[in-house]
Amino acid sequence: MPNGFFGSGTRRRATYLSATGAALPAEDLFRQVESGADGKRFLHTDGEADAEEKRGDPLEFATAAVLLKLGIHTVRRSLRLKVKSSVGVSSRNPHAEVDLLFNWAGRLWLVDCKDRKRAEDLADALDKLAMVRSAADEQRFRELLTRIKSELSIGQTKALKEDLLAIREIGGLLGEIICIRKGQVPDEVAQYAHHNCIAIVAKNELSRGLERLLFPDRQARDTDLASLQDFFQRR
């Protein structure tokens, strides 16, 4: 690797389909995962990636289960990057964390999972809960709220920049990035992702979105064509 390496215990973080996950038909697994079923029960991991459970773990498990069912052989979870000096001495503290990592089609793919409400939505909720303001204070309040939402949106772009740095460090020019998000990202964030070839997949279309990325030349399914036809008929 060019400038860094994975933290200790990487081999123990290899994740595969469990017997339950392997036996379940793909469409059934996808439907259960996207309906909120615990994706962890479809997986087997060589050891534990993290002893402490995190809020974002369920989305990582769900994404890993879908990737493996789509044909990925192995997915690695919860990896940490550390700086390695020219003499081979590494720092103790990681400078970046990777949610999921896998090899596919000769490329290294990094997956960043964020299972939480958009930060901008929190600002909107604050607006609804705010006390009644006088007309004189209304303009100032709106200015502050707009500024807060703008600052929070910058945070989402910053997360994508960190992903770019991580994949370039470990995957070079052939690295790919997939961002799994619970809600819709702001237009400026989506544009930044598109400009930098970062794929964004919504949580509610996890299997379809990942399948399109991994198999761009695969023929569309009848259900997809029917859904597309229904969409245009309702317009």
The domain ranges of the chain are 4-229
Rounded mean pLDDT of 44-66? 80
**What are the phi and psi torsion angles at 105 (to 5°)?**
55, 40
- Residue, of 153 and 156, whose pLDDT is higher: 156
Q: Is the pLDDT of residue 67 over 50?
A: yes
Rounded mean pLDDT of 193-222? 88
Phi-psi map region of 183: left, alpha, beta (phi>0 left; psi -120 to 50 alpha): beta
Query: How sure is the predictor about 111, in pLDDT bands with cuts at 50, 70 and 90?
Result: very high
What tens digit of pLDDT does each residue of 116-153 get? 655 555 556 566 646 555 666 677 777 777 777 666 66
Cα separations in angstroms, 171 against 27, 139, 174, 220:
31, 48, 6, 30
∠ Cα 213 184 64 (to 5°): 45
Give the pLDDT confidence score for residue 136 in this predicted structure: 65
**What are the phi and psi torsion angles at 111 (to 5°)?**
-120, 125
Name beta bridge partners: 111.
100, 178
Give the pLDDT confidence score for residue 222 in this predicted structure: 67
Give the pLDDT confidence score for residue 92 in this predicted structure: 60
Give the closest residue to 171 by CA, choosing from 89, 111, 91, 92: 111
CA distance 110 to 103: 9
Give the pLDDT confidence score for residue 17 in this predicted structure: 96
- Residue, of 26 and 131, whose pLDDT is higher: 26
Rounded mean pLDDT of 227-233? 70
The structure's pTM equals 0.73
Name beta bridge partners: 84.
90
Of the ranges 54-58, 114-118, 151-155, 227-231, the best mean pLDDT one: 54-58
Give the closest residue to 58 by CA, choosing from 77, 85, 84, 83: 77
Query: How sure is the predictor about 25, in pLDDT bands with cuts at 50, 70 and 90?
Result: very high
CA distance 84 to 91: 7
Q: Is the pLDDT of residue 2 over 80?
A: no
Which CATH code of 2.60.40.1930, 1.10.1040.10, 3.40.1350.10, 3.30.1300.30 fits the domain covering 4-229? 3.40.1350.10
In this structure, which amino acid lies at residue 172?
G
In this structure, which amino acid lies at residue 162?
E
The chain-wide mean pLDDT, for the chain, equals: 78
Rounded mean pLDDT of 8-30? 82
CA distance 35 to 222: 21
Helix (H, G, I), strand (E, B) or coil at 218: coil
